[in-house]
Amino acid sequence: MTLQIKEQRSLKAFNTFAVEQRARLFAEAHSDAEVREALALATQRGLPLLVLGGGSNLLLTRDVEALVLRMASSGKRILTERDGSVLLEAEAGEPWHPFVLWTLQQGLMGLENLSLIPGTVGAAPIQNIGAYGVEIKDTLAGITALDCETGELRDFTPQECAFAYRDSVFKHLPGRYVILRVRFLLQRQAPLHLEYGPIRQRLAEQGIEVPTAQDVSRAVCAIRSEKLPDPCVLGNAGSFFKNPLVPQALVDRLRSQYPGLVVYPQAGDQVKLAAGWLIEQAGWKGFREGDAGVHGLQALVLVNHGHATGEQLLRLARRIQADIASRFEVELEIEPNVI
């Protein structure tokens, strides 16, 4: 066995909330073979297998009675290129933002709006990460995963991933698949996504009239750095709540009372509301109780000011959910996985 197993390992360094909890068993997988070893060992010990990427979409409220496997595989490569379309592949353990920067260095377009999102390549499709009008589903070409029930490798097409807003088939089958590699189809030349006002404004401030993909990436990094706390400085998991989808009739009622309601029109009779706006209107922005709090610049982000437990953060989230439901008749859904 090449897998290095540690018992009762602290997970504080492996979740961006920096919550102190322990794993019954812990290992890092650098290859497909080590993933299989971990799965076999978990089965032998009668433990579930919990796969970690960057720990940036996770809230730990207790010690984890599982074999926690951190994906540490590395590697990225261009597979084919034809008529300016480039198919490339990255291992699941590759950090997401450095991977995005690498694609830009190769002269490829498509992922620039997803710059500076924490996490790993393998974790990104699970919640269909998105930002500034772009989601991972827009460029994803395929996924290779290990089926933990059969032990076989399976290649998923984008359609089989069943992507939706912060959702995929993998979220609905927790523990069934371990994503090993992800493929993307990027372009040498493609339209830039500049629909979101902050990007256009930032480029205009810099006097950039004909932006490149690199310009967009730098603008996105600057905007995110100003609005979102660095997990290395202040523990957090980014946006803690999803932007809720609600019926148009509810939006009409809310607008009569809240003319400044922030909405994002969707297809059909559904409208997406800005969860951060609702939380801020309810007075939670900057709230702090002990070391559990709401960020002072972005109400959508819960933060650990130092020694908050996962239970304390979850209790705060539940209070916010109840308040928003009472005030606006809107149910907020927690985005991170809660253990």
6-16 average pLDDT score: 96
pLDDT digits (tens, 9 = 90+) for 70-105: 999 999 999 999 999 999 999 999 999 999 999 999
* Structure token digits, residue 240: 């803690």
Quick one: what percent of the chain has pLDDT higher than 90? 88
Which residue out of 9, 24, 166, 218 is catalytically annotated? Answer: 166
204-221 average pLDDT score: 94
Quick one: what percent of the chain has pLDDT higher than 70? 100
Residues 6+ apart with CB under 8 A from 170: 125, 126, 145, 161, 176, 177, 179
Residue with tokens 């706006």: 277
pLDDT at residue 110 in the model: 97
**E strands along 148-203, which residues?**
153-156, 177-187
The third-level CATH classification (topology) of the domain covering 76-187 is 3.30.465
pLDDT at residue 3 in the model: 87
pLDDT at residue 197 in the model: 72
- β-strands 337-338, 58-59: how paired? parallel
pLDDT at residue 60 in the model: 97
How far is the C-alpha of 307 from the C-alpha of 270, rounded, in Å? 40
The third-level CATH classification (topology) of the domain covering 6-71 is 3.30.43
How far is the C-alpha of 167 from the C-alpha of 182, rounded, in Å? 16
Q: Which of 194-203, 242-251, 280-289 has the lowest mean pLDDT?
A: 194-203
333 among known catalytic residues: no
DSSP line for 8-51: EEE-GGGSTT----EEEEEEEE-SHHHHHHHHHHHHHHT--EEE
The third-level CATH classification (topology) of the domain covering 235-338 is 3.90.78
- Is the confidence at residue 133, as pLDDT, over 70? yes
234-249 average pLDDT score: 93
- Asked if 223 and 198 touch (Cβ cutoff 8 Å), the reply is yes
pLDDT at residue 1 in the model: 58
10 among known catalytic residues: no
Domain boundaries along the sequence of the chain: 6-71, 76-187, 235-338
- Is the confidence at residue 165, as pLDDT, over 90? no
166 among known catalytic residues: yes
pLDDT at residue 176 in the model: 95
pLDDT digits (tens, 9 = 90+) for 219-234: 999 999 988 898 989 9
